[in-house]
Every structure is written in structure tokens, then in C-alpha cells.
């Protein structure tokens, strides 16, 4: 009899057959993340269907000393939710907890199970003429619980904030199996320390989010998209400052796209054609959205005119309809496919102060170019937040192992440039396992001690999400 048999029997007794996957053949979909990485296999996959079942599962793990890792839609990029290759871990998947519990349009709030897929939450909001603004590539499969655990960002952060700003209340199963009920549908509440904010971004290491009250906005009635050619990253950032000032708070996305990305998109999606008559070094893709008597067309024309006068905009195309707008955004989506088709590459999600972004991009380009002149840099991203995906495609001729080593070296070099600009090596994706070494090397003793103390306070048995963010003490 396997040492885990009594635990697995008890788990099946608790959750029923549809609540536990014991057969490794069924585990395939729980071991890979969005980047295609896989690490280890799970002990089993638990699929509780209620908060009470999550709590009972966690209690059982604690009784048996079994490690656990909470899992959402497996769209992370830092291997945070992947089973540990060194220790047996029970995957606790929230996928069966996908109820919209309540929507209250007058309160601009929606109450959901953590396993709800983001897209479904957005749809439920729209059905009540509201808007849940979190928007990202993975929205068709990522889950709200994962969005909360990783403090997800995406395309509309500059106007609506990250997940941290969109959560009003949380329900969390603690690592000891108790439930913390912080499901408050209040826009303002100043009682005690904010436990909710501590759980947000804790990557499943302090508890399992099982439910949330999320903040909605009125649904924008109209939007306006523009793809503008700009001479440089510096000009793009000056255009951003201008756009913030000329468009009130109606600017909802401001993406930098270098020419290389347009090329990738054109290759990946042959139905697309070059958006402008000539090729330009950089482009900005921006969205305005509004309700009520606001003329967004007039607003964007004024921005364009001023941008051209100031030499910040060289050419551009405005979307006059929803389908034209979707066509422009297709460049943003297709370029990601094109990037993916190139195979192994370096993916970063750094941030720097917005005012330093152009200088950072220049310094980083120079550093990579000096080290590795044949690599292709594609630096795009949510520059309105100071967030740049400074990615690097290796020369196609390189062998697998050399590629991995080269990309690792380039990452180290890039992170040094990030340090010089007081930036972050993780603006969006989190730390997980992938960035742990680089994160801890940059963290002060006092911060590391506080984080370790918090982990110990919430998870005294050290069983939940071990080895993510902080090092696994048993591995040292």
C-alpha cells in the first residue's frame, strides 16, 4: 500500500469520485502552464465544488501532512501553479466552483466563485450594462481566483487599475482549513488591517481564494481606437503624456508596438496587411472609451493634430467602427502568436518609472545588442503603466542548449539594467518559481524576514504553495 493511500481514500470519501482525479492519465491538463512548461506530476487533483469542500480538503491535507497547490486556469507564466517536481503535492483545482453568486448593478459589484472564468465574469457584467475592466490575452481560460492570487494586470490598467484595485471583498480558505470571510460589497471600509490586500498577489502561498466581490464600472457605450506611427520610444512616451492630458481620464489602453511585432503579426496572420502605407520604427495602439455626451472622434482628432504638430506622430489610422477597431487590435494578438511560433524565447515583464522607459529601452537594447548582436529584440507592452515586455528571440540557427544558456545570460544582463533604472523584474507575471532567485537576490534582509514571517504566520505547517515566491526551507 502506497503511503498516500489512506489520504487519497479519505479525499475520495470527502469529495466523491468526480471530485478527485487519481489516474495520472487525467492529470495532463493540470501540469502545464500557459508558457507550455511542465515540472512534476501531482499526487492527485482535488476538484472541490464548494468553499466548505475546499476547507475540508485543506484540513485533510493538514492532518496527513500533505502539501497542496491551488490552481486556477493554468495560464500563469512563472510556474506558480505547476506541481512541484520534488515533493508530492495535491493540486486543488477551483474549476468546479464557477458560479456567479450575485450581481448588483446599483452597487457596481459582482460576487463570484473563484473558479469563474474571467470572460464569463465580463459577460455577466455586460448583461447588466456594467463592465468588469480586467482584460488580458488569457481571459477565455484564466480564473478570477488566479487573477487575484497573481494581482493580474492586462490592457486597461492605466484607467482601471490592477486586480488589487478591483477587489472589494474576498473569501479565503486558510492553510489550516479555516475560512476567512471578507466578502464585503463595500466601496469604502476602514476596519482593521487589510487582509484582502495581503492575499491579493500572494500567489496561493497564504490561502486559497474561493470567492470574491469585484468592483464594476459603467459599460462604455462607445470607443475609439487608433494605431499611430511614432518616430521613437521617446516620442511614444511624450505622446502618452499628451494623451493623458488631452483625453481626461477616458484613455483606457496605450500599447507600444515596435515594427518587429508588426512583421511577426503579418507572418502569423496572412489576412492582415500592413496598417499604414510605409513601415515605421514604432507604433502606438490606443483606446478611448466613454459613455454620455462625449465626442471621442473629436478628442482623438485633436490628439492626432497636436501629436503631428509636435512631431510625435508620423502617420496613423483611426478606427471608425467596432470591426475596424477589432482589426487594429488583431495586430496586438497576432504578434503574440507570431512570437510563440518562433519557439523558445526570453519573455520578460519589467517595469520602470514611465519617465525612464525610453532611456531604459535604449540602454537595454544596447546591452543585449553588445552581448548578442544576432538576437532579435521585440519590446512591446503597456507603456502607459511603465510596463514593457522586453522580449528576445534567439538566432534561429542556435542549438537548443545554447539557446537556453544564451537567453539566461541575456535575462541576467537585462535585470541589471532594470536595477539601474529602479525598476521591477516583475510588473505583471509575479515571482512563482521562475523569478524566485532573481527576486530574492534583489530583496533586502528586512523585507525577506517580514515575508518569511508572514508565510509562517499564515501557514505554520508549511504545506501550501511551498517554494513559490519564497524558497522552500526544506529544499535548503
Q: Identify the residue among 93, 387, 391, 403 touching its own copies (CB under 8 A).
A: 387
Burial grade of 345 (CB within 10 A; 0-12, 13-18, 19 or more)? middle
What single string gives the DSSP state of each residue in 324-344?
HHHHHHHHHHHHHHHHHHT-S
Using the rule CB under 8 A, is 386 a contact of its own copies? Answer: yes
Rounded Cα distance between 401 and 66, Å, is 35
Q: Which is nearer to its own copies, 164 or 371 (CB)?
A: 164
Single out the segment in contact with its own copies by CB under 8 A; choices: 136-144, 244-252, 328-336, 359-367: 244-252
Specify the 3-state DSSP secondary structure of 70: strand
Q: Identify the residue among 212, 290, 379, 464 touching its own copies (CB under 8 A).
A: 290
**What's the maximum distance between 2 C-alpha atoms anywhere in the chain?**
78
Which grid coordinates are listed for 170?
474576498
Q: Which is nearer to its own copies, 181 or 416 (CB)?
A: 181
Using the rule CB under 8 A, is 390 a contact of its own copies? Answer: no
Using the rule CB under 8 A, is 93 a contact of its own copies? Answer: no
Q: Which is nearer to its own copies, 65 or 292 (CB)?
A: 292
Report the Cα 260 to chain-centroid distance in Å: 23
Burial grade of 454 (CB within 10 A; 0-12, 13-18, 19 or more)? middle
- DSSP symbol at 424: B
* Residues 322-361 as x/- pattern, contact with its own copies by CB under 8 A: -----------------------------xxxxxx-----
- Tell me the site size for its own copies, rule CB under 8 A: 94
Using the rule CB under 8 A, is 158 a contact of its own copies? Answer: yes
Q: What angle, 0 to 180 degrees and rounded to 10, lies between the N-to-C axes of helices 400-420 and 357-371?
A: 140
Q: Are strands 44-46 and 89-93 parallel, antiparallel or unpaired?
A: parallel
* Residues 110-149 as x/- pattern, contact with its own copies by CB under 8 A: -------------------x--------------------
Using the rule CB under 8 A, is 29 a contact of its own copies? Answer: no
Which grid coordinates are listed for 209?
481564494
In angstroms, what is the minimal distance from the CB of 201 to its own copies? 6
Q: Identify the residue among 36, 65, 270, 292 touching its own copies (CB under 8 A).
A: 292
Rounded Cα distance between 168 and 311, Å, is 43
Using the rule CB under 8 A, is 382 a contact of its own copies? Answer: yes
Q: Identify the residue among 65, 191, 323, 441 touching its own copies (CB under 8 A).
A: 191
Single out the segment in contact with its own copies by CB under 8 A; choices: 17-25, 308-316, 338-346, 451-459: 451-459
Per CB under 8 A, contacts with its own copies among 453-472 are 453-454, 457-458, 469
Using the rule CB under 8 A, is 195 a contact of its own copies? Answer: yes
Q: Identify the residue among 186, 320, 412, 475 touching its own copies (CB under 8 A).
A: 186
Specify the 3-state DSSP secondary structure of 388: strand
- DSSP symbol at 222: E
In angstroms, what is the minimal distance from the CB of 160 to its own copies? 9
Q: Are strands 109-113 and 89-93 parallel, antiparallel or unpaired?
A: unpaired
Per CB under 8 A, contacts with its own copies among 415-434 are 422-431
In angstroms, what is the minimal distance from the CB of 200 to its own copies? 7
In angstroms, what is the minimal distance from the CB of 425 to its own copies? 7
Q: Which is nearer to its own copies, 412 or 450 (CB)?
A: 450
Q: Which long-range contacts (CB under 8 A, 24 or more apart) does 61-65 make?
A: 61/7, 61/90, 61/463, 62/175, 62/176, 62/177, 62/461, 62/463, 64/4, 64/6, 64/7, 64/10, 65/461, 65/463
Amino acid at each position: 500500500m502506497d503511503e498516500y493511500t489512506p489520504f487519497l481514500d479519505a479525499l475520495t470519501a470527502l469529495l466523491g469520485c468526480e471530485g478527485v482525479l487519481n489516474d495520472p492519465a487525467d492529470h495532463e491538463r493540470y501540469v502545464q502552464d500557459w508558457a507550455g512548461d511542465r515540472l512534476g506530476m501531482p499526487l492527485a487533483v482535488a476538484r472541490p465544488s464548494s468553499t466548505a469542500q475546499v476547507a475540508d480538503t485543506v484540513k485533510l491535507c493538514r492532518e496527513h501532512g500533505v502539501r497542496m497547490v491551488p490552481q486556477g486556469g493554468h495560464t500563469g507564466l512563472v510556474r506558480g501553479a505547476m506541481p512541484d517536481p520534488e515533493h508530492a503535492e495535491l493540486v486543488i483545482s477551483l474549476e468546479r466552483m464557477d458560479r456567479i453568486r450575485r450581481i448588483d448593478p446599483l452597487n457596481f459589484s459582482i460576487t463570484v466563485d473563484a473558479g469563474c472564468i474571467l470572460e464569463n465574469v465580463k459577460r455577466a457584467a455586460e448583461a447588466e450594462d456594467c463592465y468588469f475592466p480586467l482584460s488580458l490575452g488569457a481571459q477565455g481560460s484564466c480564473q478570477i481566483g488566479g487573477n487575484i492570487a497573481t494581482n493580474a494586470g492586462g490592457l486597461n490598467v492605466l484607467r482601471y487599475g490592477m486586480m488589487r484595485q478591483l477587489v472589494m471583498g474576498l473569501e479565503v480558505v486558510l492553510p489550516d482549513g479555516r475560512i476567512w470571510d471578507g466578502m464585503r460589497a463595500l466601496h469604502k471600509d476602514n476596519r482593521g488591517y487589510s487582509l484582502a490586500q495581503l492575499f491579493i498577489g500572494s500567489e496561493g502561498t497564504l490561502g486559497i481564494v474561493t470567492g470574491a466581490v469585484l468592483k464594476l464600472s459603467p459599460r462604455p457605450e462607445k470607443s475609439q481606437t487608433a494605431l499611430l506611427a511614432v518616430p521613437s520610444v521617446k516620442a511614444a512616451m511624450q505622446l502618452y503624456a499628451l494623451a493623458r492630458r488631452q483625453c481626461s481620464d477616458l484613455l483606457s489602453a496605450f500599447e507600444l508596438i515596435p515594427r518587429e511585432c508588426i512583421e511577426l503579426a503579418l507572418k502569423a496572420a496572412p489576412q492582415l496587411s500592413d496598417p499604414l502605407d510605409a513601415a515605421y520604427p514604432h507604433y502606438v495602439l490606443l483606446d478611448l472609451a466613454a459613455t454620455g455626451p462625449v465626442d471621442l472622434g473629436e478628442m482623438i482628432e485633436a490628439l492626432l493634430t497636436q501629436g503631428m504638430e509636435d512631431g510625435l506622430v508620423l502617420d496613423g489610422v483611426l478606427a471608425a467602427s467596432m470591426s475596424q477597431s477589432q482589426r487594429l487590435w488583431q495586430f496586438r494578438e497576432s504578434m503574440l502568436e507570431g512570437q510563440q511560433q518562433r519557439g523558445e524565447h526570453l519573455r520578460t515583464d519589467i517595469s520602470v518609472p514611465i519617465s525612464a522607459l525610453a532611456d531604459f529601452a535604449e540602454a537595454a537594447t544596447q546591452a543585449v545588442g553588445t552581448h548578442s548582436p544576432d538576437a532579435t529584440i521585440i519590446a512591446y507592452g503597456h507603456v502607459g503603466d511603465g510596463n514593457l515586455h522586453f522580449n528576445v528571440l534567439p538566432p534561429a540557427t542556435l542549438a537548443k542548449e545554447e539557446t537556453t544558456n544564451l537567453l539566461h545570460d541575456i535575462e541576467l544582463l537585462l535585470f541589471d539594467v532594470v536595477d539601474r533604472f529602479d525598476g521591477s523584474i516583475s510588473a505583471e507575471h509575479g515571482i512563482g518559481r521562475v523569478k524566485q532567485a532573481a527576486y530574492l537576490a534583489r530583496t533586502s534582509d528586512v523585507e525577506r524576514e517580514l515575508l518569511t514571517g508572514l508565510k509562517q504566520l499564515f501557514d505554520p505547517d508549511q504545506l501550501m504553495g511551498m517554494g513559490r515566491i519564497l524558497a522552500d526551507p526544506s529544499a535548503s
